[in-house]
């Protein structure tokens, strides 16, 4: 199994940037597809971005496409989320997640939280207007 620890959250004004990191330990990091999810108070956890094992394929929710970039460094066992042009509606706890499963179809399964086996504890991002 793998242990995940997020960092990099904080307080930022609208229009600002943050970079989240997710450090992985345990089983070989490159054997996992990875995702970022977020959960705002009173709302369900929602998909933000996903990246395949070799980093060659990424996917984003419509709400963050063009502003956020997911990446990974398998040599450093670390997942990243670069967040630019932040908006107050981006305020949430951000979670990284790992899955050993494969989606052999259109890849849409990586947008679903139940598809992931392992989760970090989350890091708070607060964007003020």
User: What pLDDT score was predicted for residue 26?
Assistant: 82
User: What pLDDT score was predicted for residue 62?
Assistant: 97
User: What pLDDT score was predicted for residue 43?
Assistant: 96
Torsion, Cα 7 45 119 56, to 10 degrees, reads -80
* Three-state secondary structure of 62-116: CCCCCCEEEEEECCCCEEEEEECCCCHHHCEEEEEEEECCCCCCCCHHHHCHHHC
User: What pLDDT score was predicted for residue 16?
Assistant: 98
Tokens 């259109």 belong to: 106
User: What pLDDT score was predicted for residue 103?
Assistant: 83
- Stretches in the chain below the pLDDT threshold 50: none
3 state DSSP class of 56: coil
């Amino acid at each position: 199994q793998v242990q995940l620890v997020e960092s990099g959250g904080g307080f930022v004004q609208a229009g600002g940037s943050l970079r989240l990191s997710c450090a992985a330990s345990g089983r070989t990091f490159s054997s996992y597809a990875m995702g970022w999810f977020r959960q705002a108070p009173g709302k369900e956890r929602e998909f933000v971005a996903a990246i395949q094992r070799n980093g060659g394929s990424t996917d984003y929710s419509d709400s963050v496409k063009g502003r956020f970039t997911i990446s990974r460094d398998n040599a450093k066992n670390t997942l990243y989320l670069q967040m630019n042009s932040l908006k107050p509606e981006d305020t949430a706890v951000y979670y990284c997640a790992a899955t050993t499963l494969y989606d052999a179809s259109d890849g849409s399964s990586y947008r679903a939280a139940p598809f992931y086996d392992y989760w970090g504890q989350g890091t708070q991002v607060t964007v003020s207007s």
